[in-house]
Structures are given as structure tokens and as C-alpha cells.
Homo-oligomer: A and B are copies of this chain.
Amino acid sequence: MSFEDIQTPAVLVDLDIAEANIEAYQAYCTKHGLALRPHIKTHKLPFLAKRQLNAGAIGITCQKISEAEAMIADGGINDVLITFNILGAEKLERLKALARKVRLSVVADNTSTVKGLSDAFSDTDSPLTVLVECDTGAERCGVTSPEAAQDLAQVINQSPGLTFGGLMTYPPAGREAEVHDWLTKARDMIEADALQVAVISNGGSPGMWQADAVPVATEYRIGTYVYNDRSLVERGVCDWGDCALTVLATVVSVPAADRAVIDAGTKVLTSDLLGLNGHGHVLGRPDITVDALSEEHGVLRAETIGLDVGDRIRIVPNHVCVVSNMVDEVQLIRGERDFGPSPVSARGKVI
């Protein structure tokens, strides 16, 4: 199949760019003595995870059990961190099955989660590694003070079937010094209790080039960097040429001189704004605004739209991690050479 034969709307992944992104950030982590543990939520493709591992990553990060199951199904991925409080009998059974297949660690920020994990793993041969999730300012999950981290580390340490593995945080962007102080204080308090803090896992794409400003961290989790997106370009993290994922769309209507309509709407591009105006960047046409989306239509506006019905455009979406999750397959390309479709193995795995 040639590039021209790709049916639209399509999610294109340029492997040349993705591979360069993988190499560049691995080099950064290696230089700064950080272990890299990519979050696969962005691509959900086992073959790309393996490229990340081959480049030097120590393992992968997943957010949900079903996502991890899909990623390891083909083999070749042997180290998984699930950064989510796992609850409930069925999920704990699936977690035990996962633990028999790969080196597994999880996080917890509360005693109910720890008790469930302990009850499930107390009858197994090898204990489950559990990190304490820390809220260092992002106000999502996480214990909210170093003292609470110290307490939960003790609870994990005393729970049958579990091993205390360290600390994990999803940090607030741009507040590296604060994050470093928080984690350092927690580490010192826990180590004063004669417990080893083997791993301190930090992460997040917006602060990827400031990861070295949290030197207490031992590893960095990052997802978006493999593709990059408009949100990262607009924040100065990368450039348009570093964006590996684009949405290929066809102009289906040009109702006015300042307006065109494409065949991609929220069911491909999603409504994620991430603080931006508009729904994406049209490559080569910075004057165009992706002004409004409905489910299957996108409305483009420009002073002079200059597009004809049937023209194709490529859009860098605001947020790639949600876009690759919208389609059953992405189209792998190198430049404008087409390498064909690849199923998005972990798409829709939210359980």
C-alpha cells in the first residue's frame, strides 16, 4: 500500500521520528544516571515498547492491569510497574497472574489497597513489590506528606506477601525543587527507620528536560516523548519536526473562503485541550485554526483557507496519548513511505 492509499481519517506514526525521540531521551537519562521506564499509555504498541527497552529502558510503566496484559502477551517485556491503586478480588487475581509472568511492581497510597494486595499475595512464593505513591503537589493520587509516606512504607513492610519498593510520584510541572525536597525528606525519614528506599520514581513529559533537577529520583517515567504533540511543542519541549504522530484527514467540504471541513472530529482527535486554544496544528499551515470539532467533522478556519475538497492535511494533535487510543490500528510510515497498519494492542484497556 502506498501513502496515497491510506484511508482517512488515519493516525500516522512516523517510525524515523519515534526512534529518534526514543534515542534522544535515553541518552539524556543515561547521561544523568536516571533509569528510564517509559509509560506505554502513549503508544500501546508492544513493538515500540521493545524498541524502548532495546534502547536502554529498564522496564515499562502501565496504568491499568488490562493494559499490562495486552503489552506482555507476545513476550519480550519482562519488567512492569503499574502506577495505580489496584482494588477488588478479580483484579487482584489478574495481578497475581501477571506477577507469575513478569517482574512486577505496583503502587499504593492507602491502607485499603495495601491490605488487598497483602491478602492476595500472602500465599504466593515471591512477594509483590509495592511503592508508596506520593502527592508532591499535583493533587491527584498520593499520600500528602512525607510523614504519611513513612507510615505507609512501614505498613507495606509489615504486610505479608509484600516488599516495600520505594517511592513514586506524578509531579506538578515546573516545581522540581519542591518535588526534590519532598521526596528527599520522605526517603530520609523512611531510611531512618532502617528501611531501604530502593527506587524513587519520578515522571512526566512536560518536565522531561528538567528531570535532572530532581536528583533524588532514581528513575523517570515518561510516555508522550515517544511521539510528542502540540501541547509539548507549545510548551517549548520539542519542535514540530519531533512530532511522530499525526492525523491524516481529508477536506470534505469548503463552504466558505475562510472555512473548510475535514473528516476527523472528536472520535479521532478527541476534545483534549491541555490548556490550548484549538484542536491541533496543521502541518505547513500555521495560519489555520482547528476551530471546532464535532464527532466526525473538524472545522478549519483561516483568513484564506486555500483548500479544495479532496485535499489531505496532516494534523499534530493537542495530546497524542488519547489519540492513539481512538483507533484499532495506526499506520506506520517513514517520511511518506507507507509501511502498513499496526494494531494498537492495548487500545481501550481501561480495566
Binding site for B on A (CB under 8 A): 5, 7-9, 41, 63-64, 84-85, 87-88, 90-91, 109-110, 112-113, 135, 139-144, 250, 252-256, 259, 261, 263-264, 266-268, 270-273, 292, 294-297, 299, 308-310, 321-322, 325-328, 348, 350-351
Contact = CB atoms under 8 A, between A and B. Distances in A.
21 contacts: A7-B88, A7-B90, A63-B295, A85-B253, A87-B252, A87-B310, A88-B310, A109-B253, A110-B253, A140-B261, A140-B292, A140-B297, A141-B252, A141-B255, A141-B297, A266-B272, A267-B325, A271-B271, A271-B272, A295-B322, A326-B350
Given A109-B255, A294-B140, A322 B64 contact: no
B309 A87 contact: yes
A84 B265 CA distance: 13
How many identical chains are in the complex?
2
B308 A112 contact: yes
A226 to B, nearest CB: 15
B253 A351 contact: no
A272 B8 CA distance: 23
Contact of A309 (B85, B139, B292, B309): B85
Contacts of A309: 85, 87, 110, 112-113
A292 B275 CA distance: 12
A294 B39 CA distance: 14
A41 B144 CA distance: 42
Nearest to A268: B350
Nearest 3 A/B pairs, CB to CB = A271-B271, A112-B309, A85-B252
A267 B322 contact: yes
Contacts of A325: 267
A250 B87 contact: yes
Contacts of A41: 295-296
Contacts of A91: 7
Contacts of A88: 7-8, 250, 310
A217 to B, nearest CB: 20
Nearest to A274: B271
A263 B272 CA distance: 18
Contacts of A84: 252, 263, 296
Nearest to A326: B348
Given A88-B310, A328-B348, 12 more contacts: A7-B351, A85-B253, A87-B252, A110-B253, A112-B308, A113-B309, A140-B294, A141-B261, A142-B255, A266-B270, A296-B350, A327-B348
Among A84, A140, A253, the one with the most B-chain Cβ atoms within 10 Å of its Cβ is: A253
Given A272-B266, A328-B348, A350-B267, A310 B112 contact: yes
A252 B107 CA distance: 12
